Amino acid sequence: MASALGAPVVFGHRLPKDYLPLALQDQDPFSLFSKDKEMVVLNDRPWNMEAKAHLLNDRITPNTYMFIRNNGRIPEAVDANTWRLTIDGESAVSPKSYSLHDLKTKFKHHTYQLTLECGGNGRSEFNPPAKGNQWTVGAVSCANWTGVRLSDVLKDVGVKTDAVYIGYHAADTHLSGDPKKEPISRGVPLAKAMQQETLLAFKMNGADIPLAHGYPLRLVCGGWPASTSGKWLNRISIRNQVHDGAKMGGSSYRVPCETVAPGSKVEEKDMCIIESMPVKSLITYPKSGALLKKGKSLTINGHAWAGELAVSKMSYSIDFGSTWQSCQLEDPANRLAWQHFRATIAFPKKGYYEIWAQATDSNGVGQPMVLPGWNPKGYLNNACHRIAVKVV
C-alpha cells in the first residue's frame, strides 16, 4: 500500500485490514456523473469518458451519454450564489465582474443545440499512434445549451479596436496540485467569440449544467474543438494577441500547418491552431454487429456535422466504398447543430457487410474512407464511420 501512495502510511499497522485510504478509493464514475453503464472510462485521473456510437442515437444528447473530457481536477465546493465571471484583458475597455444573477438578469437568454466534439476524437486509429486519451468515436455530443451571448457581455464591457482573441480561465485545478498552474486555458478568435451562437451557458438540456460539464457556467463554442468551450468559467480575457494560456501552444490542439508524412517530427513554429472541426458522421442505429434475416430491409440512422459549415449530402455504402447511395438528410435545428440522416437498405444476398457512412459539407468536402492527414497528437480523425452487419 505504501508503494501505491508513494509514502509510508503512518500507523499503517493500525489500519483495519479492509480499509483503504481515501486517496486510493475507487469511485463509481457512472453514479458519480449520472452516466450510462455502457459509457467507456478512458481515464479516471483526470476523468475522461466516451460514448459508443449506438449510445448517441438521441437527436439531442442527454447527459447520460455525453462524453467527459477533463484536463485537470473538477473543482470542489462550487457555489453558484457567490460565483463571479470577470472580463478583463489588454483589449477590455475596463475590467468588469458579473455574478451569475447579473448575467441572467442583464442579458437576453438564448438556446441553441450545439455540436461539441473533442479535437482528439478518433485518435486511437492513428498510425504511428498519437499520445493522449485514446478516443474512438464517442467524444461528440449535441445538447441544447441555454445562456447569454458572449458578444452581448463583451459589448457591455467594451472591446478595444485592437482585440483579436479571447481566452478563458476556469476553476478546475492542475493534476500536480500546483495552484499556480492552470490545467487548460484556451480561447477563440474575436470573430468566433462574437458569433450569435457562442454562449456563456448556465443550462444544458433545460437544467443546471452537470458538474462534470462545467457547472455553474460554461463557454460554448459550437463546431470548434470542445476544448474551446471552457468549463467552470470564471474569467475571460479579451486579448490583443492570440491567447497564450495553457494548451494553446506546442502540439496541443494544433496540427502541422502543411501536411506531413506519418510519424514526422514537426517543429512548434510549423504548427497551427485547430479552428473549425471537419465534416463527420456517425451511424447510431443499429449497433454494430446486427444479424439480419435474408430478405429483410434495414433502416439505419445517425447524425452528421461539419464544424462551422452545414452538411449538404449524406451517403452510405454496403460494398466497401465501391458504390454509394444517398441518405435522407434533415436540416439542422439551428446553425452548428448536427443533422439527422436515415436510409433504408436492401441487402442483395447473404454475407458479411460493412455499412460505411460519408458526409459532405457545404463546400463539397467529404469524409475520407481511410485516415486523414497524420499529425503528432492525433487530432481531426474524420474517417468514415463503419458498422458490421451479417445477413443470414
Residue 3, interface with other proteins (CB under 8 A)? yes
Find the binder of other proteins among 113, 121, 134, 195 (CB under 8 A). Answer: 134
Give the nearer residue to other proteins in terms of CB position, either 62 or 189.
62
Residues within window 5-34 making contact with other proteins, judged by CB under 8 A: 6, 10-11, 14-20, 22, 24-28, 31-32
Q: CA 38, CA 1: separation in Å to the nearest integer?
A: 31
If you search the block for the grid coordinates 459539407, which residue do you land on? 361
Residue 371, interface with other proteins (CB under 8 A)? yes
Find the binder of other proteins among 8, 128, 206, 348 (CB under 8 A). Answer: 128
Q: CA 162, CA 90: separation in Å to the nearest integer?
A: 9
What are the phi and psi torsion angles at 283 (to 5°)? -90, 115
Give the nearer residue to other proteins in terms of CB position, either 20 or 191.
20
Site string for other proteins, 71-90 (x = CB under 8 A): -----xxx------------
**Half-sphere exposure (CA, 13 Å, Cβ side) for 264?**
15
Number of residues that bind other proteins (CB under 8 A): 64
Closest approach of other proteins to the CB of residue 192, in Å: 26
Give the nearer residue to other proteins in terms of CB position, either 226 or 389.
389
Closest approach of other proteins to the CB of residue 4, in Å: 6
Residue 125, interface with other proteins (CB under 8 A)? yes
Count the Cβ atoms, other than its own, within 10 Å of residue 10: 7
* Torsion angle defined by CA atoms of residues 210, 216, 218 and 222, in that order, rounded to the nearest 10 degrees: 40
Q: Kindly indicate which of the ranges 113-121, 226-234, 271-279, 290-298 contains the residues binding other proteins, using the contact rule CB under 8 A.
A: 290-298
What are the phi and psi torsion angles at 291 (to 5°)? -100, 125
Q: CA 214, CA 206: separation in Å to the nearest integer?
A: 15
If you search the block for the grid coordinates 458578444, which residue do you land on? 151
Give the nearer residue to other proteins in terms of CB position, either 15 or 242.
15
Q: CA 379, CA 225: separation in Å to the nearest integer?
A: 10
Find the binder of other proteins among 8, 95, 129, 348 (CB under 8 A). Answer: 129
Find the binder of other proteins among 142, 298, 329, 359 (CB under 8 A). Answer: 298
Of the candidates 67, 13, 15, 65, the one whose C-alpha atom is nearest the C-alpha of residue 42 is: 67
Q: 204 Cβ partners below 8 Å, 6+ apart?
A: 63, 143, 144, 145, 146, 210, 213, 218
Q: Kindly indicate which of the ranges 44-52, 59-67, 276-284, 325-333 contains the residues binding other proteins, using the contact rule CB under 8 A.
A: 44-52
Find the binder of other proteins among 207, 261, 346, 370 (CB under 8 A). Answer: 370
Q: What is the DSSP string of 316-345?
A: EESSTTSS-EEPEEPPPSSTTS-EEEEEEE
Find the binder of other proteins among 207, 268, 269, 291 (CB under 8 A). Answer: 291
Residue 131, interface with other proteins (CB under 8 A)? yes
The amino acid at 243: H
Q: CA 188, CA 91: separation in Å to the nearest integer?
A: 14
Give the nearer residue to other proteins in terms of CB position, either 190 or 371.
371
Count the Cβ atoms, other than its own, within 10 Å of residue 267: 7
Find the binder of other proteins among 176, 240, 241, 259 (CB under 8 A). Answer: 176
Q: 311 Cβ partners below 8 Å, 6+ apart?
A: 279, 281, 304, 305, 329, 339, 359, 360, 361, 362
Give the nearer residue to other proteins in terms of CB position, either 111 or 288.
288
Q: CA 380, CA 130: separation in Å to the nearest integer?
A: 12
Give the nearer residue to other proteins in terms of CB position, either 161 or 297.
297
Site string for other proteins, 270-289 (x = CB under 8 A): ----------------xxxx
Residue 386, interface with other proteins (CB under 8 A)? yes
Positive or negative: CA dihedral 95, 100, 106, 110: positive
| Residues binding other proteins (CB under 8 A) | 1, 3-4, 6, 10-11, 14-20, 22, 24-28, 31-32, 41-46, 76-78, 125-129, 131-134, 174-178, 181, 211, 250, 286-292, 298, 354, 369-371, 383, 386-388, 390
